[in-house]
Amino acid sequence: MGLRALASALATTPGSASRLLKERAERRREAWGAYRVFEPERAVARRVDQGAFRGQPLAGLPVSVKDLFGVSGFDVWAGSKRELPARFEAEGPLISALRRQGAPIMGKTHTVEFAFGGIGTNGHWNTPENPRVPGHVPGGSSSGAPASLVEGSAAFALGSDTAGSVRIPASFSGVVGFKPSNGRWSRAGMVPLSPTLDTAGLLTLSVDDADFVVRGLEGAPIRGGDRSIAGLRLGRLSRHVWEDADPAVVDSVDAALARLASAGAKVVDAKVPETGAALGLFRKGSVTAAECHAFLATELPRWLFELEPKVRSRVLAGAQLSAVEYLRRRGRIERLRKRVRERALDGTIWVAPTTAQTAPRREDVESPEDYGRLNLLALRNTSIANTLGWCALSLPCGADGEGRPIGLMMMAPAGRDLELLAAGRAVERVLGAADQVF
């Protein structure tokens, strides 16, 4: 049952919110390790049943929250080896919106340490299972979110995305990941990685579910923005995003685009020069490491010296970036964002593989060298949207010969979030939602 139908049932069936919460809590598979802490808020469900949140679309829908967000009653660890100071438990606007809506918070899901990594492993905690292909990494940094969805303990998941941290686990684990336009949602109440590039984001089991949650959080009309696949203009981005991609990824994404074309979409080759420039900046290191180091050195100096090795090496590299070079990179990002805003827009939705590879096996990322190479490859394509400030969406479009999920990424200019979700819903009706693909 999709979230629209589930929300309608909760609103019209007495006592259903408490029953749903109990049933969802029982679905938790502890061996999958989605949560750092799991404490369903039953009091909220009772208040939903009592009508305290009447008219709120997300009332009673269980949500998991990445352990970067401040949530009253839950401590924050941000994937590190020790609890963060109590000030980080202060709730920001997104958590406050969930509270006002009456969405029960099931617990805090695991994250890569300080969200700095796309593979999903964590040397301080057990890495969550990939719920589609056990023995493989789940993708990161919102690494526990997919398992919380697929096991059913959460109806949707709140994560963060700095260079792909909701879309990579969505691609690796066969669910949907949505990154809003940079600046659309407040970052307050979220432990920062890179203020220049950070956004909050969502993981769901379908694009339709993501659209429903976004509209609920933003107070937009719950029904609206529907469109047909006929005439939808999809721009297949040029060679940069296809380099070094697994053949299975290329074949699956191109097969999906062929199906969409047969259904009436207009698929064209697209050249967006700013995407190549964004990838060039990503390869240089952008500003993430420098901003992460500055935050830790200022706010959490003790934690800076306790980072796990795969995170520490990259964070300390940020300390070596000169102020001149940091400002040069920041300026480059702002100029690229300005150029894409000024570009004449024709309604095109740009498409590419979400990740150039499928989920690696756990043993394949154990060495620092292999981890570093595969981590950069995982983050490469998704980083484009963060650098340019675009909204972006990953949805399942198939699997390789071993059953490892493959994601199709759709991107649109900043501010076209609801339009992107409407296009994603049209694409999903052709390709099938996650529960149909897997």
The pLDDT value recorded for residue 1 is 82
Instruction: Lowest mean pLDDT of 127-141, 154-168, 189-203, 339-353, name the range.
Output: 339-353
Cα 262 from Cα 256, distance rounded (Å): 10
CB 66 within 8 A of CB 111: yes
The label of the residue with tokens 């007495």 reads 14
Q: Are 333 and 288 in contact (CB under 8 A)?
A: no
CA–CA distance, 198 with 135 (Å, rounded to integer)? 29
For residue 332, what is the DSSP state? Answer: H
Distance CA 315, CA 305 (A): 10
Of the residues 165, 194, 252, 383, only one is catalytic, namely: 165
134, 79 contact by CB (below 8 A): no
Q: 3-state DSSP call for residue 193? A: coil
Reply yes or no on whether the pLDDT at 37 is more than 90: yes
pLDDT value of residue 355: 98
Active-site residue (options: 66, 108, 179, 310): 66
Sign of the Cα torsion 76, 77, 82, 85 reads: negative
* Beta pairing, strands 156-161 & 199-204: antiparallel
Q: Reply yes or no on whether the pLDDT at 435 is more than 90.
A: no
Averaged confidence pLDDT in the chain: 96
Bridge-based pairing of strands 176-179 and 349-353 is: unpaired
Active site (annotated) includes residue 338: no
The average pLDDT across 137-158 equals 98
What pLDDT does residue 226 have? Answer: 86
Whether omega for the bond prior to residue 181 falls within 30 degrees of 0, making it cis, is no
Q: Buried (b) or exposed (e) across 108-122, using 16+ Cβ within 10 A?
A: bbbbbbbbbbbbbbb
Look at residue 119 and tell me whether its pLDDT is greater than 80.
Answer: yes
Q: What is the mean pLDDT of residues 92-116?
A: 97
Number of residues that make up the chain? 438
3-state secondary structure of 303: helix
Structure token digits, residue 54: 């009447």
Instruction: Please check the confidence at residue 301 and state whether its pLDDT lies above 70.
Output: yes
Cα 44 from Cα 219, distance rounded (Å) = 20
Residue 305 has pLDDT above 70, yes or no: yes
Which pLDDT does position 262 carry in this prediction?
98
Neighbouring C-beta atoms of residue 46, cutoff 10 Å: 15
Lowest mean pLDDT among 165-169, 336-340, 390-394, 433-437: 433-437
Q: Which residues pair with 157 in a beta bridge?
A: 64, 203
Q: Which of 18, 64, 80, 141 is flagged as catalytic?
A: 141
Catalytic-residue membership of 266: no
Q: Which of 55-59, 240-244, 332-336 has the lowest mean pLDDT?
A: 240-244
**Is the pLDDT assigned to residue 381 strictly greater than 80?**
yes
Q: Has 141 been annotated as catalytic? A: yes
Task: Give pLDDT tens digits for 154-206.
Answer: 999 999 999 999 999 999 999 999 999 999 999 999 999 999 999 999 999 99
When pLDDT is averaged across residues 27-40 and rounded to a whole number, the result is 97
Q: Is the pLDDT at 344 greater than 70, yes or no?
A: no
**Prediction pTM value:** 0.97
Return d(Cα 185, Cα 171) in angstroms, integer: 23
Owner of token pair 């303990």: 153
> In the structure encoding, which two tokens stand for residue 94, read together?
């997104």
Measure the CA–CA gap between 426 and 247, rounded to whole angstroms.
26
